[in-house]
Amino acid sequence: MKVIRIHITGWVTSFRNPLFISGFQPTLPLPPLSALYGLLTAAKGAWVTPHDASVGFVFQSNGKAVDLETVYEFEGKPKPNRKEIKLTGVKSNINRREFLVQPQLYLYTPDLWLRDAFERPRYTLLLGRSSDLATVKSIEEIELESKPETTYRDTLIPFPDAQLYGQVQALPTHFTAEIPRRPCGTRAYCLVTEEIQYHGDVLQDPEKEWGVYLHERIPGDFPIPIEQSLQGKKPVDKDFEVPNVAGEQMQFPGL
């Protein structure tokens, strides 16, 4: 199978564990599919969901650490109509957040039209939080080999599967376009962080010698994005074009 393999790196990243709401925030060892489709959407500059593209990945990092971060907690009470909240105050607090060091993502997709998006991303690429900047190191067109067995590691595979073991977590594939966002396609996944010999009709990267699990497309279309307004819900202008801004790279003295 012909695919493009996109190698993406960063300095640090953190993937929120949905089981933790407040207090210490541990990171998931692997990105959920929603993070990958967020990357695709940023690169394309338009919504890309499991309805549009199939993806697979291998994610690696060089350890964990914990950082302190400031969070702002808003206080409020319902207005008489009970549809809006009136803010009555805000206070700051400090949380401990776990993060992964020197992340590397190998993203695979048979949808070759996405190559142009990553060669010239429309928006900033992020691996996790809004501060976790990512860089495209390489984009290669390769052929995945069909094998009767392979080794899976550092990837996400749907659960249940009798050949899999490890942490199981319910994770979304993507989110709605409306605000507040709502998770879509949530199901159980096995987070494969150790090598697992897998037997079956599988795909393998011949250069990296690891298995690549491609998550299938979801049938149907992604719902039309909507936004909240004083007049109620209305469709977003899907033909809106962000103007291209030409400029030069800022030069820093001494660099």
User: pLDDT digit string (tens) for 159-204?
Assistant: 999 999 889 999 999 888 777 788 888 899 999 999 999 999 999 9
Q: What percent of the chain has pLDDT over 90?
A: 56
Taking the CA atoms of residue 22, residue 23, residue 29 and residue 32 in that order, the dihedral angle to the nearest 10 degrees is 10
- pLDDT one-digit tens code per residue, 1-22: 999 999 999 999 999 888 777 7
Q: What is the Cα–Cα distance from 99 to 96, expressed in whole angstroms?
A: 10
Which pairing describes strands 167-171 and 187-192: parallel, antiparallel, or unpaired? antiparallel
- Residue, of 229 and 126, whose pLDDT is higher: 126
Lowest mean pLDDT among 49-53, 83-87, 94-98: 83-87
Are the C-beta atoms of 193 and 31 separated by less than 8 Å? Answer: no
Are the C-beta atoms of 190 and 167 separated by less than 8 Å? Answer: yes
Domains by residue range for the chain, with CATH: 2-61+101-235 (3.30.70)
Q: What is the Cα–Cα distance from 34 to 26, expressed in whole angstroms?
A: 18
| The one-letter amino acid at 12 | V
Q: Please state the pTM of the whole predicted model.
A: 0.80
Average model confidence (pLDDT) across the chain: 83
